[in-house]
Structure 1
């Protein structure tokens, strides 16, 4: 009888080793999932910041267009450095066109200027879009465009 018990003594050790390997695999999967979730959350936060920077660029561009700082908005472009507040930059460009809309008096067309303001916000180091960082997994970019008339 003793010889039989001696041959079955290692079975418990094998079961314990298998259980430890299984628990280690589960722990590694949990760590990997938590890391992916954290990266995704950071990307969402950067995307929201880029959207806010693009909105700020649109507002700034409309202000410049309507107050006359950009003379007729003819291809004007400027990069706003919002890195202190949002960690983003916004490149704002403006163009305008004149259109006849109705008549101001009989036989006299009423001319209306339509401004097109576009803002591209990104977390790049130069102007947006930042071609050197587009392939980076942490790069975020948002583009907004608006048309307004005076």
Structure 2
């Protein structure tokens, strides 16, 4: 009968334990990284939804101002809405309008229509939107919305 030398196989258990620990540490690091990127993505989605809601509020406010008569000519008029206290966004609203001939009315005179174009840019900047300086930084969110209406 042959005897095995216990000294030759004594280090194998330590190497196996170190290998298992390295694999488990790598797996834990990957899970942590995945969790962080998921959390960052969710935060960006929420900010994007807030920016879209702010841009929509800006276009509706602009249409209201244009159609009620505050921006009658609406020739490049611009206004910044500060919604930072409510949802952390600012909205820059611009309005322009053009007159178009739309056939004739019943008496034969030219009928004109005014077409309003309202642009709203919402962002999470501390200044007016769009903010080109912050656009290259992480965490900056910007949404644009444009509507047209006739009167």
TM-score by length of 2: 0.95
1:1-150 matches, cutoff 5 A: 4-150=5-151
Q: After alignment, is 70-79 or 38-47 more displaced?
A: 70-79
TM-score by length of 1: 0.96
What is the alpha-carbon root mean square deviation over aligned residues? Answer: 1.3
Structure 1 residue 96, shift from structure 2 partner = 0.4
Give a deviation string over 1:64-93, Cα, whole Å, max 9, x none.
001111231011001100111111111000
Give a deviation string over 1:6-39, Cα, whole Å, max 9, x none.
2211110110011001100000000000000000
Structure 1: unaligned runs, 5 residues or longer = none
Give the distance between the partners of 2:14 and 2:3, measured in 1 at CA: 19
Give a deviation string over 1:98-120, Cα, whole Å, max 9, x none.
11112123320111111000000
Structure 1 residue 94, shift from structure 2 partner = 0.1
- The answer to which structure has the higher helix fraction is 1
The count of corresponding residues between Structure 1 and Structure 2 is: 150
Structure 2: unaligned runs, 5 residues or longer = none
Structure 1 residue 41, shift from structure 2 partner = 0.5
Give the distance between the partners of 2:9 and 2:123, measured in 1 at CA: 65
Give the distance between the partners of 2:32 and 2:106, measured in 1 at CA: 73
